[in-house]
Every structure is written in structure tokens, then in C-alpha cells.
Structure 1
């Protein structure tokens, strides 16, 4: 019995290790940004409930904080090039930028572009649209 309990616990602990989340979506914004507000109004509430939001949780960062000399280190975000426009969405893995979406092209385009970024740069698999399976 003890052998089975130990085996079960080992399997459970190994399984927990595989649930770690590496991908994160960083939204770089600034006060007064109309397109940031538009994104927030259209998608802010729904994003965490989507498969994309669950795979790459959103974290908001102020542009001024990111531009500080120690900003990237303090925030744990290393952009490949300076962020100039807001909103800019940085797809990061382990704090390093792996893809970028500059601006907010509207709800319809945002989802397609985000899904494409996730598929091309991570192991994300888009949910199937086939309801029959």
C-alpha cells in the first residue's frame, strides 16, 4: 500500500510541474491613450476568460515605467527593441519578448493576430471550431 501511495504522490507532483505557465501577454499602455481605453472597453473583461487569455495571462505595464533605465529589469520584461507606441502587446516567455503587436487594430483583427502570434511562437494550440468531435 505504501508503495502505491508513494507512486501516486510522485505522479501528482510531476503533473503539477507541467502546469507551469511561461507565456505572458504584456500590454504597454500610458495615461490618456484612447486606443488603450478602447481595448479595455472591448476586451478587458473578456480576455482572461478566453483560451488565449488563459494560455498567456495579461499584465499591464506603464510605458513610462518600462522606459526607465532599470524598468525592464524591475518589471521583468525584456523588449527586443524600445516600445514607442501604445498600446503595444508584447508576448513574452520567461520575461523575454518573443513577439509583438503594435497598436490595437480592433476586436476582430486583434484575436486573429494574437492567435497567429501564439501559434507561431509558442506551443499554443487553438481550440477546435468543430463542435462534433
Structure 2
């Protein structure tokens, strides 16, 4: 009986110490520095069906303050517009600095060996953010 109680308590402690963070919007390191005041527009989404397939998202990033290069745009890829089933995320490096009011184009690609992304022609990208990698 004591062994069973010990196992139950031990399992409960292990479970309680595990952090579940399903709401995370971070693609890369949580130590990256987020750049505030950047607005994003997504203007193109398509599935590149060549090879094993990849999802492609393109858009514009507009700065409201000075941004030095290099910096990155990252985002999460979802199966559809409900943004409830996450496929994964990726980022792209931006090599140009921006001043307030200036914009630049970005393109993020996503592929995975876990699932055939060509199955999701109505995919969406969300949780876009601009970062400096630390």
C-alpha cells in the first residue's frame, strides 16, 4: 500500500512540475528580443507543391521606430483560419534597417516531415512578430 501511495504522490509531483504552455507564440528562443511597434500585412499565402511541399507566406512589415539589421520576422503556421491546429513555425532574416514609417517585404517558408503540408491549402499564418535574436 505504501508503495502505491508513493508512486501516486511521485507521479503527481512529476506531472505538476511539467510546464504546459500550449498558448506560446514563440517560434525560436524565448530569450529573443521582441521589437515593438511593427505592423504586419499578409498578402500572399500558397502551397508550393514541388518536391515534398512547403507553405509560403508573404507580406509587408512596417516600422514605427528605428530597427537595425539584422532582425527577423517569425510566425506560426496553422491548418486553417480558425488558428486552432498549429503545424509549426519558422522565421526569416531581414537584412535592411528601417526608420519610422518605412516598410519591407518578408517571406516565410514552412515544411515538416511530420505531416504532408500539401493537405492544407487553406492554411494561415499568425502570431507574427519582429525580433532580434540573442
Asked whether the two chains share a fold, i.e. TM above 0.5, the reply is no
Which structure is higher in strand share? 2
Q: TM-score, normalised by structure 2?
A: 0.29
